[in-house]
């Protein structure tokens, strides 16, 4: 299995339970940019457990999630099968460079929280191939962690830094490749496959407690890789984060403010 796919194996339940769902405003923005309130076909590449694909549940569009990880896909399919509002959604095995879909298939293609794990040039070529002329490509990322409390944000970032040091020390992510999120928009523009590019920002509000913050940290690929490798929560810094979260929040549930960055590319009308 490709190291980038292997990285997200073994914690799909945790991933789906603690990560955020996309705000409805994202669907409204993309639908309008695609030229109507009701796009006919949407493709979500790197759909994971279906968190981002579920943005379109109950919608008239036909939606396909493309996901290479069997672990993630099993969760997505299980949840889809038990939720009637997801009757317009299906999932299939595939990658960002080989979706298995027809040319000019989609009105909208999304990649949520995943483009930094995908090789840009062949990914853009595949997305441009399956998009119709004038179709919308949207790369969606949120800032980590959500805005909750200064002490929690500092503790979360310290945990992530500690985990990254351990990841390098123990070589647990050998062969894994990643690309900077900060350069997503410039890479889309430089591909010359899209006639219009733009970055849009928005936010959403969810609720969370101390337990969810710790679960969110464990859903990060670096932390999950270290736990699979056998390191303890003390070594990674999860225990310290847990202490700060419990001290700051106690048993309270509070608002979490998620900030999103959406990089847009509109396919060239005369794209070959």
Q: Which domain holds residue 129?
A: 3-267
Radius of gyration, alpha carbons of the chain: 19
Distance CA 100, CA 115 (A): 18
Q: How far is Cα of residue 85 from the mean position of the Cα atoms in its chain?
A: 21
Residue 94 lies in a domain: yes
Going residue by residue through the chain, which has 272 residues, state the pLDDT in tens, using 9 for 90 and above. 799 998 888 999 999 999 999 999 999 999 999 986 667 899 999 999 999 999 999 999 999 999 999 999 999 999 999 999 999 999 999 999 999 999 999 999 999 999 999 999 999 999 999 999 999 999 999 999 999 999 999 999 999 999 999 999 999 999 999 999 999 999 999 999 999 999 999 999 999 999 999 999 999 999 999 999 999 999 999 999 999 999 999 999 999 999 999 999 999 886 44
Question: For the chain, how many structural domains are there in total?
Answer: 1
Of 97, 136, 113, give the one whose Cα is nearest residue 265: 136
Q: What are the backbone dihedrals phi and psi of residue 164, each rounded to the nearest 5 degrees, phi first?
A: -65, -35
Residue 197 lies in a domain: yes
Residue 272 lies in a domain: no
Peptide bond between residue 240 and the one before it cis (omega within 30 degrees of 0): no
Residue 41 lies in a domain: yes
Residue 22 lies in a domain: yes
Q: Which residues contact 143 (CB under 8 A, 6 or more apart)?
A: 258, 259, 260, 261
Residue 15 lies in a domain: yes
For residue 63, give the CATH number of its domain. 3.40.50.150
Distance CA 67, CA 232 (A): 30
Longest dimension (CA), the chain: 58
Residue 153 lies in a domain: yes
């Amino acid at each position: 299995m490709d190291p980038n796919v292997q990285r997200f194996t073994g914690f799909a339940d945790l991933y789906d339970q603690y990560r955020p769902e996309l705000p409805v405003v994202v669907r409204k923005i993309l639908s309008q940019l695609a030229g109507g309130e009701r796009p006919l076909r949407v493709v979500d590449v790197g759909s994971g457990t279906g968190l981002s694909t579920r943005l379109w549940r109950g919608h008239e569009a036909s939606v396909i999630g493309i996901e290479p990880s069997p672990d993630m896909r099993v969760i997505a399919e299980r949840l889809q099968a038990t939720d009637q509002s997801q009757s317009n959604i299906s999932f299939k095995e595939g990658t960002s460079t080989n979706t298995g879909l027809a040319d000019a298939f989609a009105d909208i293609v999304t990649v949520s929280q995943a483009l930094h794990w995908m090789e840009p040039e062949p990914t853009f070529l595949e997305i441009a191939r399956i998009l119709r002329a004038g179709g919308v490509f949207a790369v969606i990322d949120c800032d980590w962690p959500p805005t909750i409390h200064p002490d929690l944000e500092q503790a979360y970032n310290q945990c992530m830094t500690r985990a990254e040091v351990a990841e390098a020390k123990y070589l647990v992510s050998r062969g894994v490749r990643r690309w900077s999120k900060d350069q997503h928009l410039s890479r889309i523009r430089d591909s010359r496959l899209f006639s219009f590019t733009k970055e849009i920002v928005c936010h959403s509000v969810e609720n969370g407690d101390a337990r969810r913050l710790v679960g969110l940290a464990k859903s990060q690929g670096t932390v999950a890789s270290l736990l699979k490798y056998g390191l303890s929560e003390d070594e990674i810094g999860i225990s310290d984060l847990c202490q700060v979260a419990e001290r700051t929040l106690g048993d309270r549930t509070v608002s979490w403010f998620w900030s999103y960055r959406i990089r847009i590319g509109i396919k060239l009308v005369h794209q070959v």
